[in-house]
Amino acid sequence: MGSSEERVVAVIMVGGPTKGTRFRPLSLNIPKPLFPLAGQPMVHHPISACKKIPNLAQIYLIGFYEEREFAIYVSSISNELRIPVRYLKEDKPHGSAGGLYNFRDLLMEDSPSHIFLLNCDVCCSFPLPEMLEAHRRYGGMGTILVSKVSAETASEFGELVADPETNELLHYTEKPETFVSDRINCGVYVFTPDIFNAIQGVSTQRKDRANLRRVSSFEALQPVNRSLPTDFVRLDQDILTPLAGKKQLYTYETMDFWEQIKTPGMSLKCSGLYLAQYSSTSPHLLASGDGSKTATISGDVYIHPSAKVHPTAKIGPNVSISANARIGAGARLISCIILDDVEIKENAVVIHAIVGWKSSIGRWSRVQGVGDYNTKLGITILGESVLVEDEVVVINSIVLPNKTLNVSVQEEILL
């Protein structure tokens, strides 16, 4: 273990409005990092995991959203966790490593011995203290959280090869065309401050190449190369790939769940994973009920204290009900996220769906998806203020905000 004097800072990359296009129509109303999974904003899960890091001094969120969009959340979470949380807005894209480097002076204010870097759109158990302990044993510049996936899906991520004895990163390639390994990069890292020297080295190398091109007569005859800006540095291609096999980077494998939250379908799956995790980490957040005085609850269910659920409703498994929602008599909810101010009337059924803010589902209506989290129409999504009238069936569809449905639809995108 490290000295009690050592301090740690954590950085969570939250992206920006142009990055959340696959998350529409849900990201039309709220920044994707603030969308609730298991009753808490997406970014809350990595933030609360950071709280468990020994000697944590500060948490930084870095992204392209306007500061006002995060101001209220950052203030409340800082007070709740009693750890300073600060949002930093990038002025322009710098890449995943360049964004870190851009704020290096701020990040180094607390003279940290280690810097955690997490991606907000990652869903896992975040074994950060264990990673830090392993990283200190390895003695390298950085440690990457890795997970084993199926060979069929590995090419969607950064694949890597590590030494089975020492866990040293030997080879790294981002989304390869041919199979390399079933071990992938989870988007969670811990570095020593030496990472800033490595990033600066990439920038310096780019400047030198640019100068060389300007003075080389041969290069001057070539078509213009669309080279990257000198201050745009990607963590994967520019840092991990060239430093693999040089005894600077190591891996720590998680045996727990891991998913990437790119689409609304995956957010529903990940909400369920976090609900299941609550049973061991935060059981007080899970609802219970047997149908006598409260609704019948089966499996892992979160119900906001302000929501009103009729005792004859049946809820679960994998259901999250947000603030001020109203669930009527005889309603049946399975595998769904119900957002703020939603009304679900008597005997309505919601299965494999996300019901947007202020929407209303009529009596005896059915809003349902097939439950395929990876396909566009695998779950049904209702945007904000969608009105589903009585006895209407909505199957495997996406409905944009402010629509009224008085006829049944199946496998449609309603603009």
Cite the active site residues. 175
Which regions of 242-286 does DSSP assign to beta strands (E)? 249-253, 258-260
| E-assigned strand segments in 200-240 | none
Identify the bridge partners of residue 87 per DSSP, sorted by sequence position. Answer: 61
Spell out the alpha helix ranges (H) of 19-124. 44-50, 67-81, 95-102, 104-107
* SS3 at position 278: helix
Cα dist. 204→132, 158, 211, 231, 312 in Å? 30, 25, 11, 9, 66
Q: What 3-state class would DSSP assign to 297?
A: strand
> Which residues lie closer than 8 Å to 389 by C-beta, 6 or more apart?
362, 365, 404, 405, 406
Say whether 322 sits in a helix, a strand or coil.
coil
Environment class of residue 385 by beta-carbon count within 10 Å: exposed (0-12), middle (13-18) or buried (19+)?
middle
Token pair 């209702």: residue: 382
Q: Report the C-alpha gap between 62 and 411 in whole angstroms.
A: 37
Q: How far apart are the first and last CA of the chain?
A: 56
Task: Give the separation between CA 256 and CA 47, rounded to whole angstroms.
Answer: 18
At 58, which helix (H) or strand (E)? strand 56-63
- Which backbone phi and psi does 371 adopt, to 5 degrees? 95, 20
CA 53 vs CA 8, 56, 115, 278: distances in Å: 8, 6, 11, 19
Cβ(10)–Cβ(50) below 8 Å: yes
